[in-house]
Amino acid sequence: MTPAVIFLTEGAADIARRIADGLDGARLHGPRSLAGADVGFETPTLHLQTLFAQGSPIVGVCASGILIRALAPVLGGKSTDPPVVSVAADGSAVVPLLGGHRGANDLARRIAALTEGAAAITTASEAHPGFALDSPPPGWRPVDGDTARPVMAALVKGEPVRLETDCPGVSWPPARAFTTDGELSVQVTDRVAGKAAATLTLHPPTLALGIGCERDVDAPVAVKAALDTLARGGLALNSIAAVGSVALKADEPAVRAVAEALSSPLRLFEAVDLERETPRLANPSDLVYAEVGCHGVAEAAALALAGDAGELVVPKERIGPVTIAVARSPTAIVPPLAGRASGRLSVVGIGPGDRDWRTAEAVSTLLAADDVVGYALYLDLVNDVTRRAAQHPFPIGAEDDRVVHALNLAASGRTVALVASGDPGIYALATLVFERLAASDDRSWRGVDINVVPGLSALQAAAARSGAPLGHDFCAISLSDLLTPSGVIERRIRAAAEGDFAVVFYNPQSRSRRTLLESARQTLLAWRPAATPLIVARNLGRPGEDVRIETLGDADLTAVDMLSLVIVGNSETRLVSTVSGKRVFAPRGYGVTAARQAEGP
């Protein structure tokens, strides 16, 4: 996760910006009252605690005490807390406060290089011997259950520790810190190793697994094929740096399942790129070329990931409908990885518009996006967290164009956020995304990882602003007859009236649609009292918000428009006066139920 760089004063803004720009993908967070931030906030303590709870690394250009006091109530443990680093306002001192071995020490060194300051590393293992075995470089993983503590303790004390490696091209951990004898040892290997009490085994990311398969292979079959191949070769699962395949297989769940089972990123290659690996293939195939446009998939993808110096350690093995190959790189396989990522599309609900109504998941998803797509107004509402993403604004009414554009971007390997107001699954874009997928034969779209991020819906916001009118059974009906015939809408209104549901009317009235809302009122009046509370909520969470509580019989509906939401209570809905004004609520149990409860059994 990329760091959040925090500044609290105008004087710290310049150095904070320099740090954010120097840390790839970092966002600059600052008070909304000050200019220059990518992400604005109102309450520093709450914002810091939210970031911390999300697991975001925090860089605070402020006094250490501010960070300590803000985060003290939410601290967990050294194995779970994210990195926290404080930086002096002039950049002269950089202090890792939390998560030293989880990235804070390295982060402090990077920041010190940017600010020409000094990183104050206080972790014993970092001071001597200068590295931490429990904080290895990206991609390195120990044997499950192994702990670095006794070995690190010996190194800190200056006691002899042996280094044993069968990966001579890997330069970490530095050999200078080790001896040729000693009871304790560190073993660096990409092969399966047994657990030994006096040995810490580390697996470097030196292996790449390539996979090809027939269409519609069951995921468990592919996963078993990969695991069995590695087991026969005596190769460590923890050393698989990436899983690769041809882009034509992007929509195969089995390919994705193998990457997930190995906890490794999936990388996809166009056939023309894999064809360049043909001279290095052990088993080139004209049949494969005729099918996909390259002479090998599994071997070629593994070699492409392992780099020019990589070699096959497991040539292509065919296990039923699945083909597996493994290549080894003499050095660690680290980002940027060859190929492209499997694309991801998140349909993100941002609530009715108020920043405080966004969910933490929505914010983190928007921060991680390469591209944001949506109605121009919605993009403006979230530009405080999406300024560094590519912007793709669309006019109102171009819903289908937005969806197609977002799917195409994601299919190219991008991480895309398609922005919707309210909740994306309630009269919004999530349904349209799946409609287009179901109707399309574009296999590249099927290879996109699609995620729906819920948002605070307009009906929830309207209900909260007016009290609790949805405290019992309710339904939602759209009065737009652009996609739903008016006869169907009227039938649903009659059913809601007869069933005594509280009703939420979406899209209640536009300039050209002026009859269905009044017709709905008359239908409901036939089943419930004229004094039934009716709520008109307009511009929820935005400037000019207006929430009016009227009655079904007397409400003035002429000003209701597409920025409005209308809620009509059921026959039991009540009003109560509070110091804040009138509030509407639906009793949790109807009056007859309450009476029976009072009578007892």
Same domain, 330 and 211: yes
Global pTM reads 0.79
Same domain, 360 and 307: no
Residue 601 lies in a domain: no
Tokens encoding 230: 């590695």
How does pLDDT run across 149-179, given as a tens digit for each residue?
Answer: 788 778 778 888 888 889 989 888 888 888 8
Residue 207 pairs with which residues in a beta bridge?
Answer: 240, 328
Same domain, 284 and 198: no
Rounded percentage of the chain residues whose pLDDT exceeds 90? 68
Residue 310 lies in a domain: yes
Residue ending a domain, choose from 387, 422, 456: 456
Same domain, 302 and 399: no
Q: What is the mean pLDDT of residues 211-236?
A: 96
Among 3-7, 176-180, 201-205, 223-227, name the one with the lowest average pLDDT. Answer: 176-180
Residue 232 lies in a domain: yes
Instruction: State how far the Cα of 323 lies from the Cα of 317, in Å rounded to an integer.
Output: 6
Q: How many domains does the chain have?
A: 5
Confidence band, pLDDT 50/70/90 cuts, at residue 129: low
Residue environment code for 486-520, b if the CB has 16+ CB neighbours within 10 A, otherwise e: eeebbebbeebbeebbbbbbbbbbeeebeebbeeb
Q: In the predicted model, is pLDDT for residue 292 greater than 50?
A: yes
CATH of the domain at 445: 3.40.1010.10
> Which amino acid is it at 494?
R
Same domain, 12 and 71: yes
Same domain, 106 and 11: yes
Same domain, 463 and 552: yes
Residue 591 lies in a domain: no
How does pLDDT run across 486-510, given as a tens digit for each residue?
Answer: 999 999 999 999 999 999 999 999 9
Tokens encoding 503: 């009703």
Q: Are 98 and 107 in contact (CB under 8 A)?
A: no
Residue 229 lies in a domain: yes
Instruction: State how far the Cα of 143 lies from the Cα of 122, in Å rounded to an integer.
Output: 27
Same domain, 246 and 329: yes
Q: What is the mean pLDDT of residues 568-576?
A: 95
Same domain, 556 and 476: yes
Confidence band, pLDDT 50/70/90 cuts, at residue 596: very low
CATH of the domain at 504: 3.30.950.10
Residue ending a domain, choose from 92, 122, 152: 122
Which residue, 225, 229, 219, 192, is CA-closest to 315? 229
Q: In the predicted model, is pLDDT for residue 134 greater than 60?
A: yes
CATH of the domain at 25: 3.40.50.11220
- Long-range Cβ contact pairs of 16-19 (< 8 A, separation 24 or more): 16/61, 16/87, 18/91, 18/114, 18/115, 19/59, 19/61, 19/87, 19/91, 19/111, 19/114, 19/115
Residue ending a domain, choose from 297, 321, 340: 340
CATH of the domain at 268: 3.30.420.180
Q: Which residue has the tokens 């250009």?
A: 61
Same domain, 336 and 354: no
Rounded percentage of the chain residues whose pLDDT exceeds 70? 96
Same domain, 110 and 147: no
Residue 593 lies in a domain: no
How does pLDDT run across 251-272, given as a tens digit for each residue?
Answer: 999 999 999 999 999 999 999 9
How does pLDDT run across 422-464, given as a tens digit for each residue?
Answer: 999 999 999 999 999 999 988 889 999 999 999 999 999 999 9
Domain membership of residue 578 as a residue range: 459-585
Q: What is the mean pLDDT of residues 584-599?
A: 64
- Render 6-32 in DSSP notation, one character per residue: EE-SGGGHHHHHHHHHHSTT-EEEEET
How does pLDDT run across 39-73, given as a tens digit for each residue?
Answer: 888 899 999 998 888 888 999 999 999 999 999 98
Tokens encoding 591: 């009056």
Residue 432 lies in a domain: yes
Same domain, 447 and 480: no
Residue 406 lies in a domain: yes
Tokens encoding 227: 């695991």
